[in-house]
Structure 1
Amino acid sequence: MEMKDTLKKLRENHHLTQDQLAERVMVTRQAVSRWENGETQPGTETLKLLSKEFDVSINTLLGSPRQLICQCCGMPLNEDILISRESDGSYNEDYCKWCFTDGEFAYQSKESLVEYLVGHMPNPEHLEEEERRIQFDSFLSQLKHWK
């Protein structure tokens, strides 16, 4: 879905007129109309306000153009409910809610995450524990958080 359609659907689902939405995010009704017609898109700061107003990620507002992946554990973030939040309640699209919550990381080291994964992830290939540790470490090392 395109951003213009997403924004209009969210506005209507929240029973807001263009005027009401404009007032809440401090723009003109004409600006909201141009967004919904696909003529323009909101700037970064307005996207943050819209994200907070509708309680959706910016990626969702933009029509989900990117496949988000937790940069700590590698989990796909294909639903907003999986995305972490900062202490102010805003979305942090870099991490899942299990790795980062309220401005705090759950895993203080890559080794602690590897330890958790070895103990909790399925092992359908029946690999030895050390081989699994090596695979998890290799995968995690490619993620932004552990580089």
Structure 2
Amino acid sequence: METAEIIKEIRNKNQLSQGDFSEILCVTRQAVSRWETGKTTPNYETLKTISEKFNVTINTLLGSPKSLICQCCGMYLQSDDVVSKELDNHFNEDYCKWCYVDGEYQYKTLEEMLDFLVPLLVEERQQAPEVVRQQLESFLPTLKQWKNKEA
């Protein structure tokens, strides 16, 4: 979906007129109309405000141009409801809500992460634990949370 469609969908889902939506965002009704027709796109600050007020990630507002994965466990962040949030309620699009909670990382070491993930993925993939562990040991260190860190 395009940004124009997404903004209109958010507005309609919240049963807001363009005028009501514009008041919430402190912009003109004409600005909202231009966004919804695709003539313009909100600036970053406005996207941030929409994200905060309507509980949607900026990535979603932009039509999900990039595939997000948790930079701790590697899980795909396919919907906004699994994306973590900062203490101030802003989305943190780098992590899932299980790896990063209330501003804190839940897994302090790569070894802790491996100990948690291996049994889950063994069951899901129906593979031997050593195979799953080997795959994770080569993949996880490429993620932001574990880059240049010891297990």
Normalising by structure 1, what TM-score? 0.91
Q: Runs of 4+ in structure 1 displaced over 6 angstroms?
A: none
Give the Cα separation in 2 of the matches to 1:66 and 1:83.
14
Q: Tell me which residue corresponds to 2:114.
A: 114
Q: Tell me which residue corresponds to 2:134.
A: 134
Give the Cα separation in 2 of the matches to 1:81 and 1:114.
24
Unaligned runs of 5+ in 2: none
Q: Tell me which residue corresponds to 1:77.
A: 77
Q: Tell me which residue corresponds to 1:58.
A: 58
Q: How many corresponding residue pairs?
A: 145
Normalising by structure 2, what TM-score? 0.89
Conservation of the 8 A alpha-carbon contact between 2:118 and 2:129: no
Compared CA separation, residues 60 and 7, structure 1 to 2 (3 A): same
Residue 127 of structure 1, CA deviation: 4.5
Give the Cα separation in 2 of the matches to 1:48 and 1:102.
19
Aligned counterparts, 1:1-147, within 5 A: 1-122=1-122, 124-128=126-130, 131-147=131-147
Give the Cα separation in 2 of the matches to 1:11 and 1:127.
47
Residue 39 of structure 1, CA deviation: 1.0
Letter in 2 for 1:82: V
Conservation of the 8 A alpha-carbon contact between 2:122 and 2:132: no
Unaligned runs of 5+ in 1: none
Letter in 2 for 1:121: L
